[in-house]
Chain A
Amino acid sequence: MTRENPSPYVVTAPASSHRVWKDRAPLIGRLDMELTERCNNNCIHCCINLPEDDKARLREMSKDEIKRILNEAVALGALSVRFTGGEPLLREDFSEMYLYARKLGLKVMLFTNARCITPEIADMLALVPPLEKIEVTVYGMTRGSYEAVSRSPGSFDEFRRGMDLLLERKIPFIVKGAVLPPNRDEMEQFEEWAATIPAMDKPPSYSIFFDLRCRRDSPEKNHLIHTLRAKPRDGVSILSRNRESYLKSMREFCSKFMRPPGDSLFSCGAGHGACVDAYGMVQPCLMLRHPSVVYNLKSGSLKDALTRFFPAVREMKATNPDYLSRCARCFLKGLCETCPAKSWMEHGTLDTPVEYLCEVAHEQARDLGLILEGEKAWEVKDWEERIRRFSKNIPG
């Protein structure tokens, strides 16, 4: 990254380290917004997608509602908005919403499958750049593997066309993967291709441990997702396949983030930002849709959600005895993805242990040498010492 010579008048800084957002902390830095839950793909593993023509469209926020929320986010200090979905480009007014956000002075982060990127949309993105890399999820390197995941005929060609349009116009984007049976053997090929994409400054990330349906709307789809999840050992093998860099990052991560959470439900950043769903409800995080922790923006304000409602949510305590005897005492918190959102998706509660994620975390901890075969992490007394030795790479 090059920087121009320092100027006595104009201070140039990456937004991530700019003093306004770093030191003065406006009420919100980034707003997440799901423009729709509908998608033109029907991915086998997806936790949210509805059919493209689903009647949920009738309940989606209007343009004016979206604009009102964007206006308020800007007034509260937001620098960026993430448009996601579903497939956000399915909304016919996407371009209008995009330009509206940009003209408010927001950077736009766009999560898309790229299928709906037309020459007109690509031209707009070139003329008025999003100022954030677009993130494109890739489901396979061939028509066969891609469409075995997307279950949408013609989707592969449309995705490739969308990619080409972005590349031709030099619009920065990155790609992400989802490791699924149809594409599991293509990771090397995917990474080689990803490395040719100009804006890819590191290897692609992957979804591996798939979430169940976040609306808890389909036992059938949940059943399918269960069958697609990587076995904990296989998942950890994928995570750690670049062994040296994996260990380096885990040593740093573990020393910073691993400790028993106690009975506090929220030790994450949930509720410090805001995630608006397609219908105008604001959630503490993108995945958490438990009715007791979402706030209706149609009858309230973002400011009220951020200053009154979410702080109260963040004070919530776990009461489930199973959670209190395990998760609350478990030092793998941080490694383990069990959280109120995952508990909601799996069990319809905020504080039920998620066995699959517990197994994954234990597998990962065994692989790192933090626990032994047969040990339960919540029973480990000398966890601080174990983390200390691991972080400093002291043989144990």
Chain B
Amino acid sequence: MNGAIPGAQRLRAASAGNRVLGVLIVLLIALTLGMDQLEPLFRALFPDLGNPLYSRDSFLNLMLAHIGLVLMSSLISVTVGVAAGLFVTRPVGREFEPMVSSLAAIGQTFPPAAVLAIAVPLAGFGFAPTIIALSLYGLLPVIQNTIAGLGTVPQATLEAARGNGMNRWQILRRVELPLAMRVIIAGIRVSVIINIGTATIGSTVGAKSLGTPLIAGLVGNNLAYVIQGALLVGLLAIVTDLLFERLERRFSFGR
């Protein structure tokens, strides 16, 4: 009976969380597809602006381009980050751990705009320099959390895994990764959320994203454009964050 009450509370909290998430997803899709319908509202809010609705591209196109940028760069961050984290926690790579950690930390200290500025002469304008900047920028949380997550696996658990006759690969796949997964996903979550925000800057070097109306609004002194871009980026970030929260919970194993 003791456990029943917190359990019920958790269920109620979870179902309330589901409703919030559902509402936000519907809002995100509705705004992406039907921003045009809000033209009268923006016209009323900004009567001085001749054109209060961004119309050089559809918001659906901008949203898909933005998600594409984030997916691509996060894929690189996660692949490289998890691989590096795994490497430096194995016996062969242990001595590289301080170096990899500090390299990733240095990557994080560069402002993304500076990385973009360096990347443009190397990779030209558009998609490629943005991907490079975002990938570098999203690397640190993934590496850090991969190392930290693998470090939380208790020594006794590892000794038992070895003592019961698992080989290194089996220990990694059956014991270490599942137990570290929650912390690793938390790192990926931070990395992706950072990149959703930072991807907007890619528009300054010509990569299409939700930052395009934002930058256009800032340059052209059009606050309505800024609000439209920022609203969608903000919603996308919140929805993604809530989805990651649910994913993390799957790896809590009842703790």
On whether the two chains bind one another, the answer is no
